[in-house]
Amino acid sequence: MVTANDTQATEAFVGRLFEATLGTADILSIYVGDKLGFYHSLAQKGPATTTELAKRTKTYERYVREWLEQQAVTGILTVDDPKLPESQRRYTLPTAHAAALIEPDNPFSFGPVGKFVVAAATMLPDILNAFRNGGGVPWSAYGRDVVEAQGDFNRPWLIHQLGNE
């Protein structure tokens, strides 16, 4: 039987898992923004409406709108005036966030993590099989995104610290 203390501990644990789920959604949305060039477009060409960003990146406006709204709600992007009609809202990538999302040499570069998480997640069936049968999963099976993500994530450290320390 679950006691009151167990219930509190379970609630705290489920809260932690819920926060992790939201964090995972952020990482997955960062992958989308990186792969489709949304962040680069906002950083290089400035704030945009959903229609403008869709045109710039040759993507479907409806999905761009959903992505932009998610990014604004989670605080990755800012929106000029959320009370405006959807078609008039302009979304901005803050400079501090651009440093983490699109500047590969920046010590705070975090964009590669999205690519790594998505690529690694696709390997879960093979990982489960390895747990059941042994043998492991060769690094080469993870594909180009994992290799590039690891290199991109290590890049700032190699550029800024390896030669100095």
Q: Summarize the confidence of residues 78-103 as an average pLDDT.
A: 95
pLDDT at 101: 95
Kindly report the pTM of this predicted structure.
0.85
Q: Which long-range contacts (CB under 8 A, 24 or more apart) does 94-97 make?
A: none
Q: Going by C-beta distance under 8 Å and a sequence separation of 6 or more, which residues neighbour residue 116?
A: 145, 146, 149, 150, 153
Give SS3 for 39: helix
pLDDT for the residue numbered 1: 66
Q: What is the CATH number of domain 1-102?
A: 1.10.10.10
- Which residues, in sequence order, are CB contacts of 42 under 8 Å at separation 6+? 48, 53, 77, 91, 92, 93, 98
pLDDT in tens, 91-127: 999 999 999 999 988 888 888 888 899 988 999 999 9
Nearest to 68 by CA among 94, 86, 50: 50
Is residue 4 over pLDDT 70? no
DSSP per-residue string spanning 45-90: H--B-HHHHHHHHT--HHHHHHHHHHHHHHTSSEES-TTS-GGG--
Q: Is the pLDDT of residue 7 over 90?
A: no
Tell me the domain boundaries of the chain. 1-102, 104-165
- Kindly provide the b/e burial profile for residues 93-120, where b requires at least 16 CB atoms within 10 angstroms of the residue's own CB: beeebbebbbeeebeebebbbbbbbbbe
Please report which confidence band the pLDDT of residue 153 belongs to, taking 50, 70 and 90 as the band edges.
confident
Residue 164's pLDDT is 66
pLDDT-based confidence at residue 163 (cuts at 50, 70, 90): low
User: What is the rounded average pLDDT of the residues 19-33?
Assistant: 94
Q: Which tokens belong to 61?
A: 């406006």
Average pLDDT over every residue of 71-92: 96
